[in-house]
Amino acid sequence: MIYLITAFLAFVVAQGLKYLIIAIRTGKNDWRESYMSGGMPSAHSATVTSMAVIVGILNGVNSAIFAVIVLMAFIVMYDAIMVRRSNGEIGASLTTLIKKEKFDVRLPRVAKGHTPAEVVVGAIIGAAVAIVAVCIYNLF
């Protein structure tokens, strides 16, 4: 259970920080920003990194499950930077074109990906949450 709780907490911390950063930067109090994709920090990276770190600490870095989770984490982070970010840029360009040409179509939902910095900060948050969780877990 500690594994799922840690992953969930890492996600919540990253999304909460994302909301705060957007609120401070823009001055808007829009709760939709707390669950939107993209932005600083990456909650996906925080989640998968927290899982990899806690599994590495509790099960060992030579365990098969650690190898699987690290591989999954790299896939998720690569996807956030390369695939989702590219799709987001394409979606934004398409939205601009639709508006400019006044096409009579529904605007696409643009899901943003992440910059490398957003992914790294998310990974750092995830690692920190996992380390704190292990420390608390070992107290009880």
Please spell the DSSP secondary structure of 31-55, one letter per residue.
GGGGS-SSSSS-HHHHHHHHHHHHH
pTM, 2 dp: 0.82
Q: Is 56 exposed, middle or buried (0-12, 13-18, 19+ CB in 10 A)?
A: buried
pLDDT computed for residue 35 by the predictor: 65
Tens digit of each residue's pLDDT (9 = 90 or more) over 13-68: 999 998 888 888 888 777 766 666 777 899 999 999 999 999 999 999 999 999 99
| Cis peptide bond prior to 41, omega within 30° of 0 | yes
